[in-house]
Amino acid sequence: MQKVLARGGLGSRREIERWIVDGKININGKIAKLGDQLVEGDLLRLNGRVVDWQKYAKQPTKVLIYHKPLGEVVTRRDPEGRPVVFSRLPKLAIGRWIAIGRLDINTQGLLLLTNNGELANRLMHPSFEIDREYAVRILGEVNEQLIKKLTQGVELEDGEAHFDDIQYSGGDGANKWYHVVVSEGRNRLVRRLWESQDKVVSRLIRVRYGPVVLPENLKAHCYHDVNEKELRVLFNLVGLPQESSNAPSQSRVNRGKMLRRRK
């Protein structure tokens, strides 16, 4: 039961287990218990609302690579009327797209989305330490001492943080480009780490999430589906069993390459 409901994006398995313990899930008129199995035809209610759980059990997993531009927000509806990433995505016959992590309005680049809630939760969970790589343009001088400090760790308002790796990648004048890697998804972490050292981030682009890289030919506002081989890499990364087959993918660009996860 937890697997099916997590698959539909209703929550993580751990959250759903809490709902079961709290008596929020009902099967065929009886309060569900941990270990209960769902059988075809079962009527499931969550907080009194009927859940069509069987459609989640049958849908094939899909994962999208989306190139988020500046100015878009990762939310379904924005009260300020700003453009949202979900309005750019293809429609799903079953379920909904779930963002794997977020990018703030001033950050562009790779955003992964899936219709598999369990896959999304695992790819975001701190225990898997999925690394993220960013291209960042810094205004100001960056010396070896500063790089050492940022990789060893600095104290932020929500605890110590650090870059796993920092590599210089060029630039002219006062602006220099660096590629940085982090293994956690704290809010605005890359910006806050640089700003803690009085450095200005003038541009920030996520170029990799785990083994998935942003294809060079994928323009802003565009997306493409990962193929079955690439999807297997993601399932293996987070310890999920493989699916027997997946629906044919539809893409608005040529396929991008996958990279092995950095150690």
Catalogue the active-site residues. Answer: 104
Q: Are 136 and 203 in contact (CB under 8 A)?
A: yes
Bridge partners (DSSP) of residue 113 are 64, 99
CB-based burial label for 231 (10 Å; 0-12, 13-18, 19+)? buried
Distance from C-alpha of 216 to C-alpha of 111, rounded to nearest angstrom = 14
3-class secondary structure, 203 = strand
Q: β-strand 44-46 against 159-161: which pairing, if any?
A: unpaired
Distance from C-alpha of 99 to C-alpha of 76, rounded to nearest angstrom = 10
Residue at 73: amino acid letter: V
Any idea what DSSP says for residue 164?
S
- Residues near 173 by beta carbon (within 8 Å), at least 6 away in sequence: none
Bridge partners (DSSP) of residue 223 are 66
3-class secondary structure, 177 = strand
Distance from C-alpha of 237 to C-alpha of 125, rounded to nearest angstrom = 12
